Every structure is written in C-alpha cells, then in structure tokens.
Amino acid sequence: GENVEQHPSTLSVQEGDSAVIKCTYSDSASNYFPWYKQELGKRPQLIIDIRSNVGEKKDQRIAVTLNKTAKHFSLHITETQPEDSAVYFCAASTGTASKLTFGTGTRLQVTL
C-alpha cells in the first residue's frame, strides 16, 4: 500500500518568514496530493491540493510543488502569521473516491 513520509515533525519560524514542509510517497499510482491544516480537536481543513498533471499550484501565501519523478511534494507558506500555527498533514490518493494516506504531520509554530 501507499506510504507517505513527512518532514520535519516540528517547525518553528518567526512571523513573516517562510515555512516549507516536505513529503514523499511510495505509490507511483498516486495522483492526488492534498494538504490539510488541523487545529487541536478539530477536523482537517483542506488548504491546497495538487493533481499529478500539474507541477506547481499557488493560492495567495500558500503554494505546493510536485515532483512525480522523485515522488515528492512540498508545501510552501510565505509571510507566515501567528494564525498559521497548527499541525499540517500531507496526504496522497490514487483517486479512489478520496481514500487518503496521510503523512505523519508537522507542527508549525509561528512566533512573534
């Protein structure tokens, strides 16, 4: 089955700096890669996603890049703000009705 690894497990940045979180996946059939933000005790919130026919996608301060050959994808958050502090999960799917394999999570702390 699919295996998704995520690094780093914790990340502390100063407000205004950029944050980068990286994930690798094992199943070359995976073709959908969402990123979720989860606050304590809450449901995961989709913040951006990318499909395998695209190399990069951007939405305001958030961007995701995908390297299919290397089987890795990354989340980039620019101009970080304290409200960006949360746990972020990457995930991968082969497109089967949203069955997702999640990465291990990154706890992002944005300090003032």
Partner 1 sequence: GAVVSQHPSWVICKSGTSVKIECRSLDFQATTMFWYRQFPKQSLMLMATSNEGSKATYEQGVEKDKFLINHASLTLSTLTVTSAHPEDSSFYICSASKVRGSTEAFFGQGTRLTVV
Question: Interface residues with partner 1 (CB under 8 A)?
Answer: 32, 34, 41-44, 46, 49, 51, 89, 93, 95-105
Cβ closest to partner 1, residue 38 vs residue 78: 38
Look at residues 76, 81, 68 and name the one whose alpha carbon lies nearest to residue 106.
76
Q: Are 99 and 87 in contact (CB under 8 A)?
A: no
Determine the length of the chain.
112
Nearest distance from C-beta of residue 77 to partner 1, angstroms = 19
Distance (Å, rounded) from C-alpha 91 to C-alpha 111? Answer: 26
Cβ closest to partner 1, residue 16 vs residue 95: 95
Cβ closest to partner 1, residue 18 vs residue 54: 54
